[in-house]
Amino acid sequence: MNTLVKHLKGTFLAGIFVVIPIGITIFIFKFLFDFADGILGSHLARVMELFGHRGYIPGIGMITGAAVIYLAGLVATNVLGNRLLKFGDDLITRIPLVKSIYTSSKQLIKVFKDSGSSYRRAVFVEWPRPGVRAVGFVTAELERDGEAIVVVYIPTMPNPTSGFALWFRENEVFDSGMTVEDAIKFVVSGGVVIPADNK
């Protein structure tokens, strides 16, 4: 009887560890799909009713959203379109409340976009005091008086667009075992998303 209970308990727990991550992933994707589809889908349904088509078509909002993103990309890569976007950018950054949200969003996107080229490697440094290790990104490596020096950018959580650029000796910098992308995910998630190799 005890063996059966142990078997059931162990198998059930193993099943939970398999099902829960899959369930969460499906839930998040469903939420994102419904959210993105709902933004444009309901409006498009009204437009389609004007042309005699009744009813909501699932996925039409997502398809339209993808088309809008593609067209925005075409505009952004065009010289004239780039000027228009810059003009719109200047207008948005003059609106008090909108400015802070818009600027923060742009900075966050820029971090992900430029991380591969701006950050050379993800490291650990003892900061703000000895014995405490913080995640940092090496942005420059140089030599001063025959000594190897590195500039390490230490971001604040969960917003990696603000932080501190500090100078360290090379021997004061420790390998984090994380790629730059993994370290950014770690920072943005507030330490919740930890790469498998570091667990």
Contact by Cβ (8 Å): 182, 164: no
The token pair that represents 143 in the structure block: 């030599």
Amino acid at 46: R
Q: Which domains does the chain have, with CATH numbers?
A: 1-92 (no CATH), 117-198 (2.30.30)
Mean pLDDT of the chain: 77
Rounded Cα distance, 115 and 135, in Å: 14
pTM above 0.75, yes or no: no
Please state whether the peptide bond connecting residue 155 to the residue before it is cis, i.e. omega within 30 degrees of 0.
Answer: no
Read off the pLDDT of each residue in 139-147 and give the average, rounded to a whole number: 89
Rounded Cα distance, 159 and 102, in Å: 14
Distances (CA, A) of 7 to 10, 15, 135: 5, 12, 42
In the predicted structure, residue 108 carries a pLDDT above the cut 70: no
DSSP string, 182-194: HHHHHHHTTT---
Rounded Cα distance, 120 and 152, in Å: 10
In the predicted structure, residue 153 carries a pLDDT above the cut 80: yes
Rounded Cα distance, 127 and 149, in Å: 16
In the predicted structure, residue 56 carries a pLDDT above the cut 80: no
Contact by Cβ (8 Å): 76, 85: yes
Confidence at 198, pLDDT banded by 50, 70, 90: low
| Per-residue model confidence (pLDDT) at position 199 | 55
Rounded Cα distance, 72 and 76, in Å: 6
Q: What is the pLDDT of residues 58-107, one digit of tens each?
A: 666 667 667 777 777 777 777 777 788 788 878 888 888 777 777 777 76
Answer with the residue of higher pLDDT: 108 or 147: 147
| Per-residue model confidence (pLDDT) at position 72 | 77
| Per-residue model confidence (pLDDT) at position 172 | 94
Question: 52: which DSSP letter?
Answer: T
| Per-residue model confidence (pLDDT) at position 187 | 86
Read off the pLDDT of each residue in 144-150 and give the average, rounded to a whole number: 90
Confidence at 18, pLDDT banded by 50, 70, 90: low
| Per-residue model confidence (pLDDT) at position 47 | 62
DSSP string, 118-169: H--EEEEEE-SSTT-EEEEEEEEEEEETTEEEEEEEEEPSS-TTSEEEEEEE
Contact by Cβ (8 Å): 157, 187: yes
